[in-house]
Amino acid sequence: MNALHDRIQSRHARVGVIGLGYVGLPLAVEFARAGFTVVGFDVDSSKTDQINDGISYIPDVRQADLAAQVKAGRLRATTNMAELGDVDVIDICVPTPLRKTKDPDLSYVVRSVEAVAATLRKGQLIILESTTYPGTTDEVVQPMLEANGLKAGADFFLAFSPERVDPGNERFTTRNIPKIVGGSDAASTKVAAALYGATVETVVPVSSTKVAEMVKLLENTFRAVNIGLVNEVAQMCHAMDIDVWEVIEAAKTKPFGFMPFYPGPGLGGHCIPIDPFYLSWKARQSGFECRFIELAGHVNGSMPEFVLARVVDALNESRKPVNGSRVHVYGVAYKRDVGDVRESPALDIIALLDRRGAVISYSDPYVPHLEEGGHSFTAVSEAEALRGGVDCVVIVTDHSAFDWNLLVTSGVPIVDTRNALRGFSSPNIVRLSGRVTTSATDV
């Protein structure tokens, strides 16, 4: 351990990062900025080529920062997994999606670990960052790495450190988000903590890989459950003709005992819609039923249908059916000001509208093209869409670039699922819950 620890402290350790997406590329740049020589690994040659040309394709990574590290010779990328044997540290940051059956899909992790095992040598540190169920590092990764005779804790180091990336968040980044680290043994925890301690502001060691894996699932399940609660409240408020947004704004004035969460068209992204299912799947293996968590998932999963009902309401006011109506979607990314459409509720809403015969178009400054349900869509500008004539607009993602005044004054019926039009009072606005009213703050 001392040899690798010393190499980390002196910045002579060579670091490899497998998976150069929203998690891996920012991490690779931070390692390079800290003085390490970094090699990024990805099966997508278009990504490795762009990195080697100093081009960033991840909005959270400033191109100038990436280019500076490439020019200084501290960062390069390759598709050649055989080079994994040449680095001292390997950080695995690959996707962990769900199968259609809602079971964990560890295929990307397994393929990455197979590549690591093929060149594994004594003294290397292997870290898994991909979100997964408790026990993955011990039960899946470790046996694969030990198959050729080397032992974790004796011959190589093994740890789990959950990624906590929030794409588009300018305040909290890879560098200043505290890093959880749990090793397969005390020595692995210590050396992994030393690596991250040289890179990020705060490191939080925990007692095991299972604890570290569970931390990430708790964080995102907490969000999913609370969003599920407020989504159900939104549906309840609609049934009782109450503006849920006004309720939340008033409730959050309480200085203790309440944390505001906000309803929306459904969950999206690479973590919150997925992680609770990883947790409930693993719990079932232990004979435990996560009824509360799974109920929240059911509520969140029902929101696109609820949005569809609001579209029907909006078109009804104009005496128009969904079938044949031109419905324009504002924003298809899963959150504002990013271009990521993974698990975006917009995809479900578009599919529901398509099945009912709507003619669909969309605007999104971050997503120029979209493939969904066998259809290929190209984004159009807001002004072009409104000029062309649409029967209804659905605000799914409230990008800051959108011109809300232009939209409201167009007179087109609008279904606002994000409360983007707070402050506007117009009969053509259909809120997620409650009727259009002038709030007390507007009086």
Q: Given this chain, do its domains 2-206 and 233-442 carry the same CATH topology?
A: yes
Residue-averaged pLDDT of the chain: 93
* CB contact at 8 A, 181 and 149: no
Residue closest to 115 by CA, chosen among 16, 46, 14, 31: 16
Supply the pLDDT for residue 435: 56
Residue with tokens 């200043």: 176
Supply the pLDDT for residue 1: 61
SS (H, E, C) 169-211: CCCCCCCCCCEEEEECCHHHHHHHHHHHHCCCCCEEECCCHHH
Please give the CATH topology (third level) of the domain spanning 2-206: Rossmann fold (3.40.50)
Angle ∠(193,279,213) on CA atoms, nearest 5: 5
Q: Burial of 83 by CB count in 10 Å (0-12 exposed, 13-18 middle, 19+ buried)? A: middle
State the DSSP H helix or E strand holding residue 250, giving kind and residue range, or none if neither. Answer: helix 244-251
Q: How do residues 39-81 score in pLDDT, each as one tens digit? A: 999 999 999 999 999 999 998 899 999 999 999 999 999 999 9
For residue 92, pLDDT over 90 is answered with yes
Q: How do residues 351-395 score in pLDDT, each as one tens digit? A: 999 999 999 999 999 999 998 878 899 999 999 999 989 999 999
Give the residue-averaged pLDDT of 10-34.
96
For residue 442, pLDDT over 50 is answered with no
For residue 436, pLDDT over 60 is answered with no
29: left (phi over 0), alpha (psi -120 to 50) or beta: alpha
Supply the pLDDT for residue 441: 36
Residue type, 188: S
Q: How do residues 200-246 score in pLDDT, each as one tens digit? A: 999 999 999 999 999 999 999 999 999 999 999 999 999 999 999 99
Task: Give the rounded percent of residues in the chain with a pLDDT score beyond 90.
Answer: 83
Task: Give the rounded percent of residues in the chain with a pLDDT score beyond 70.
Answer: 98
440 or 10: which carries more pLDDT confidence?
10
Residues involved in catalysis:
271
The domain limits of the chain are 2-206, 233-442
Q: What are the percentages of helix, strand and coil residues in the chain, rounded to 5?
A: 40, 15, 45
Q: What is the pTM of this model?
A: 0.89
For residue 332, pLDDT over 90 is answered with yes
* CB contact at 8 A, 342 and 270: yes
Supply the pLDDT for residue 166: 85
CATH class of 233-442: alpha beta
Residue closest to 414 by CA, chosen among 297, 331, 324, 302: 331
- Beta-strand relationship, 75-78 and 157-160: unpaired
d(CA 365, CA 387): 18
Q: How do residues 121-132 score in pLDDT, each as one tens digit? A: 999 999 999 999
